[in-house]
Amino acid sequence: MTRHPQRSWVAAANEPGCDFPIQNLPYGVFSTAGGDPRCGVAIGDMIVDLAALEARGLLDGGGTFSAPQLNGFMALGRPAWDRVRARLTALLGEDGDRDLPLVPMSDATLHLPIQVAEYTDFYASRNHAFNVGKLFRGPDNALPAQWTHMPIGYNGRASSVVVSGTPIRRPMGQLKGDDGPEWAACRRLDLELELGAIVGAPSEMGSRVSVDQAEDMIFGYVLLNDWSARDVQAWEYQPLGPFQSKALGTTISPWIVTQAALEPFRSQGAERVNPLLDYLQESRPGLYDLAVGWTLNGQMMARTNYNVMYYSSAQQLAHHTSSGCPMRVGDLLGSGTISGPERDQTGALLEMTEGGKLPVEVNGESRVFLEDGDEIELYGFAQGDGYRIGFGPCTGRILPAT
């Protein structure tokens, strides 16, 4: 007997190519003309107004859904996350209540879904780490000695995390010139295709969390573009790593796909080079079978899968607390650039063009790095049987330097 996927009374949610079927139910923050930003859930081509649903007494979100970010709801903890998801699934199922406060997506403005507490970006694709390391340090020193033993990351800027659709200004910066440093507009502006994990539960200063505990702390995931000024980066990165080259902006998708929605798509990551220390051991696969990719000005540039990564978000989170560093509700962890082994599977132009030596053709033009007016769009989805769990678009357009 063939098992058909669960269906919703919202017709668009049942289309095979829809990013937001009833199996997904991602959270976001939206507003309509004349209204304040509030929390919602995507279903098909509609948004469930969670604040209105709670006001009617049809949903219990602890009074958090009228807020302009999801931090209050996340702070309620996993039992509340599970309870609300089950209730929404029942309300939106084929036999659910058809008199719900729905807003067409076309009538809504989407906002940053969380107040970002802190932002840390990691470096978890062995393909990306080797390719970039080779360009900066040569093939013999491409991977640092510790790379296969622990997740490597840097603390970024929460203040420059923006929602999809927000323009990104080309940065000015100090660059290496022929006769010393020079002040100029970035000439080697790049994207990075990543997945961002949203931390929904805190940890205490001085305590450590296991990988299993870290799994339980993750609320969900977004697409993430870590915009990068490669020429600024090359001049500044030694000895302490990226600074201003990564501070110009980080774009995330507006919908947070929950860990619960991705549960059926768990996947093993890249093959281990050496055993990890006990505190990084996983009791179950921590990555997901997610098709991801990116376009430049509408042209498909690369496709790969999130399961090529070497470290999971839970391992990164566990390592982040290994010194006793406290985590907060609303912390954002970038996965690092997701790159496969082939040129058309790379998540950054730096890799794809081998540092600018191999131009690519974009809509009939020879290109190396990003130019003013360019628009990058990231995509990602997990393909189920008759449905898919999608993230929606994650876009940004480059504005000229000022």
What is the distance between the alpha carbons of residues 163 and 19, in angstroms, rounded to a whole number? 18
Please report the beta strands in 152-278, taking only residues with DSSP state E, as ranges in sequence order.
Answer: 153-155, 161-163, 168-169, 172-177, 180-185, 189-190, 193-199, 218-226, 228-229, 250-252, 257-258, 266-267
Cβ(244)–Cβ(173) below 8 Å: yes
Please report the beta strands in 189-271, taking only residues with DSSP state E, as ranges in sequence order.
Answer: 189-190, 193-199, 218-226, 228-229, 250-252, 257-258, 266-267
Is 319 labeled as catalytic in the residue annotation?
no
User: Any residues with CB less than 8 A from the CB of 277 and at least 6 apart, and which?
Assistant: 149, 150
What is the distance between the alpha carbons of residues 23 and 6, in angstroms, rounded to a whole number? 7
Cβ(189)–Cβ(230) below 8 Å: yes
Active site residue: 4, 111, 128, 320, which one?
128
| Token digits of residue 271 | 């093959």
| Token digits of residue 303 | 């496709």
Q: How far is CA 306 from the centre of its chain?
A: 11
What is the distance between the alpha carbons of residues 87 and 254, in angstroms, rounded to a whole number? 22
What is the distance between the alpha carbons of residues 308 and 108, in angstroms, rounded to a whole number? 35
Cβ(228)–Cβ(251) below 8 Å: no
SS3 382: strand
Cβ(122)–Cβ(334) below 8 Å: yes
What is the distance between the alpha carbons of residues 265 and 255, in angstroms, rounded to a whole number? 18
How far, CA to CA in Å, does 176 sit from each of 179, 189, 236?
8, 15, 9
Cβ(177)–Cβ(186) below 8 Å: no
Task: Produce one character per residue of 262-290: b if its CB has 16 or more CB atoms within 10 Å, e if not.
Answer: beebebebbeeeeebeeebebeeebbbbb
Q: Which residues are catalytic?
A: 128
